[in-house]
Structure 1
């Protein structure tokens, strides 16, 4: 067998440049492009139990088609248990229903719409406010005790 383990020099050939250098560099165009789209918004006039408006806010619409109101965000921010849409002239309102999974309204809204919402606060009146007032002498009275029992049920 012949010895193939020879050490030799590697001959280098002059490589041609991959990019040709020109005398003047070409201007590079700004390739960063920004797409500006308008996010659909509604103006919300927020009332609390018919009093107000306590706040006027602009809210972005959400959802796949960007036409749903973020109801859960309003409920959490202002401490409401429910909100009602109404028209200021008539005073009649309808409860705004929303999807419990994503918190968005089931009804859709247009971009630039003005929505009037009336919120019902989470704070409940205590039951003691509805009980008859009995003084120390009358508390032993059977009538006062019966009235208290009836009010509790």
Structure 2
């Protein structure tokens, strides 16, 4: 029980520290702090993922089949990135008309303007949370598998 308390306390302290670092990055104008930390985390895992993929291709029974899977995986990755950029950058333009004003011999206003409303106002955070939610069943399955193993 003591381990759970200390573990929860350390995870909370680490999260608060990372949030503070993200705010410092925001204040000093380097970029969006939390997104930058998440990006660095993803890029830090990239070399080991590439090495793992290369070793799986070399150890596969059919290297051609493994290469085809990698190509399909990369194509799927590119398609998902394009879809994410499309949804994140998308906006709906709502036409707004201004009233015409007559002041003396001149007429002011009456032009068509647009009110841009973004489709996804939260940016990439919903995508990050969706990936976490997709990993949740796998985590539960791994935990459950460890609970039901016999010690023979």
TM surpasses 0.5: no
TM-score of the two chains, using structure 1 as the length reference? 0.22
**TM-score scaled to structure 2, two decimals?**
0.22
Higher helix share: 2
**Higher relative strand content:** 1
